[in-house]
Each structure stands twice: as structure tokens, then as C-alpha cells.
Amino acid sequence: MKHVVDARGLICPLPVVNTKNEIENMEEGESVDVLVDNEIAVQNLSKFANVRGYGFSHEKTDDVNYQVTITVSAGNNMNLQKDLSKDIVCDMSPHNNDVVVISAETMGQGEKELGKALMKAFVFALTKQDSLPETVILYNSGAFLSCEESDSLEDLLFMEGQGTEILTCGTCLNFYGMTDKLAVGNVTNMYDIVRIISGASKVIRP
């Protein structure tokens, strides 16, 4: 069954509230198309989907109108009636079995400054995907990203909060003298790194 919420002309919070009410009558795996006429409503719907762990996509259909599609992910709608404050851990973004391997603090070959900016953008973009990776492994100078004062710290913390495992190579932290600067996730070793990469459905490298 096709679910549509026409929230054009409605002021916030009604687009989100009407969508939330529609979702209460939906099964897992079903989607609802929400029509809205301003970008702020799209952003509020995006926050809602993010917090609830639903799939989210949107497109601009003309000058003023947007169509937002929210998909109730498997295993998530059972949490609908629960108090989010107590159950926030269960309401995570959908995850895949992918492992992201970050082996340097820069992305690509070339100027270091550019490489660092690209890496920051890469990690940020990871947080914006419909589904988050199961694990992020950081080694060699990639270990700097999970330490204090890293530009990507916020994004890694966000992913960790959504259930992604953030693992940093202990030997590398030690080598760079950063062992007590680790600010997100846990320390790992080569055996675990090999085991996790071997078991991944897909390994993504920036």
C-alpha cells in the first residue's frame, strides 16, 4: 500500500507529526512519501528519520516543493511506542556489514592540506549515508582522526553513537605517542583488524 502525507501549506511541527502518525499504521519495510513546500520541513523530517533510525531520501520536485521518502527499516518500528529517552540505543540508523578502513590522515596523493580536507569531508559524508558502516578501522596516521583535536572527531562520535564500532590500531597510537589522546571508540590489534577485514561483506577505503 502506498503511503502519502501531503504536508504542503502546513507549518512545523505538523509535517513531522502527520508523518509520525502515518508511520504508526505502517509495517516494516514500507515507505511513506511526504510532500512539503519548504526546506526547513525537509530538514526537520530528516532529523526525525535520523533519530528513529529510518531510511531517508528527498528530492526537489519543483521550485518550492519537495518529496521526502521515509522508509521504516526492519526491526525499528517495534520501538515506535517506546519512550525514546530510555530506548535511544535501540533506535539506531540502519547498518550494513561494510568496514571502512582509514590508513592515513589524508585522502589521496598530493598536498597534505588538501588531503586532510578531503579526509574530513569523507568521514562527514559517511555519516550522511542512508546506512552506516558496521566498523571503522583507523591505522597508521589514520589514528590521528580518532584522537583529540581531530576535525573528524564529531563525525566519528556521531557514528559511534549510532552503533558503528570505531577501532584504532594500538601499535599506531603508541608509535605516535597518542595513546592517552584517543577520544572515540576502542583500541584494536592486528589480529582483530585481519579478522574484521576478512569477514566484511565490503571494505571501503577513502
Partner 1 sequence: MSDIIFCKGGGCTAKLGAGVLGKILEKLPSGDDPDLLVGFGSSDDGAVYRINNRQALISTLDFFPPMVEDPYLFGAIAAANAMSDVYAMGGEVKTALNIVCFPETMDMNILGKILQGGSDKVREAGGVMAGGHSINDEDIKYGLSVTGIVDPEKIYRNNGCRSGDALILTKKLGVGIIMTADRIRQASQDAVKKAIDSMKFLNKYAADILKDYEVHGCTDVTGFGFLGHLCEMLDKRHSAVVESRSIPYFQECRGYAEEFYITAAAQKNRNYVGNQVSFENNDFFMEEILFDPQTSGGLLVSVCISEADEIVEKMKEKNIPAEIVGYVEKRQDKSIIVK
> Which residues sit at the interface with partner 1, rule CB under 8 A?
11-14, 16-17, 20, 38, 40-41, 43-44, 47-48, 51, 83-85, 154, 157-158, 161
Q: Which is nearer to partner 1, 14 or 121 (CB)?
A: 14
Which grid cell is 144?
590521528
By the 8 A CB rule, do 31 and 69 touch? yes
The least distance separating partner 1 from the CB of residue 190, rounded to whole angstroms, comes to 30
> How far is 29 from 192, CA to CA, in rounded Å?
34
Q: Which is nearer to partner 1, 151 or 192 (CB)?
A: 151
By the 8 A CB rule, do 72 and 28 touch? yes
Q: Which is nearer to partner 1, 40 or 125 (CB)?
A: 40
Residue 16 neighbours by CB under 8 Å, 6+ apart: 41, 44, 45, 48
Q: Side-chain half-sphere of 120: how many Cα atoms within 13 Å?
A: 12
By the 8 A CB rule, do 169 and 138 touch? yes
The least distance separating partner 1 from the CB of residue 71, rounded to whole angstroms, comes to 17
φ and ψ at residue 3, rounded to 5 degrees: -105, 125
Burial class (CB in 10 A: 0-12, 13-18, 19+), 100: buried
Q: Which is nearer to partner 1, 26 or 203 (CB)?
A: 26
Q: For residue 38, which of 57, 54, 20, 62 has the smallest C-alpha distance? A: 62
Q: Which is nearer to partner 1, 44 or 168 (CB)?
A: 44
The least distance separating partner 1 from the CB of residue 37, rounded to whole angstroms, comes to 12
Q: Which is nearer to partner 1, 41 or 104 (CB)?
A: 41
By the 8 A CB rule, do 70 and 49 touch? yes
